[in-house]
Amino acid sequence: MGCSYQWTDDDHLIMDLVIESPWTWAELMSQAQEVFAIIKAEGKSCATAVDVINMGTMPPGNILRNLTEIENMMPANIFASAIVGAPYMVTVFMDILTKMRPRAQRIALFTKTRTEAHEKIMERYAKLKASSDSGS
């Protein structure tokens, strides 16, 4: 189990990340660094869908500090980050993070399924692309 990731499409628009019990903060941080380096190297707008449906209980550690560190690592080319199946505790801490960090509020989405996450990301991407096309 633990943490894994993969592109959902050949265009490398959406990266799915899956967190399944058991996992550790160190494992998640290591994966986040790897994923964000890959996304940054793409050099174009990308999104993440973070599936926490089977994450189980939170490992020991300062949740808010760890989430803030992950948000700090995110490259500027991430335009959306969907949290899939977040338990109540995760939504509480994400709510705090989005109040502290305007960028987190701007890119965060909450969905119940990965399919819904991909749909919402694609809707946001279409708006972003339309805005970019009209500004050209």
Cα angle value 68/40/38 (rounded, 5°): 95
pLDDT of 24 higher than 60: yes
| 34-57 pLDDT per residue, tens | 999 999 999 999 999 999 999 998
pLDDT single digits (tens) 64-121: 888 889 988 999 999 999 999 988 777 777 777 777 766 666 788 899 999 999 999 9
pLDDT at site 108:
85
CATH for 2-134, options being 3.40.50.300, 3.40.525.10, 3.40.50.620, 3.30.420.40: 3.40.525.10
Rounded to the nearest 5 percent, the helix, strand and coil shares of the chain are 50, 20, 25
Partners of 4 in beta bridges: 18
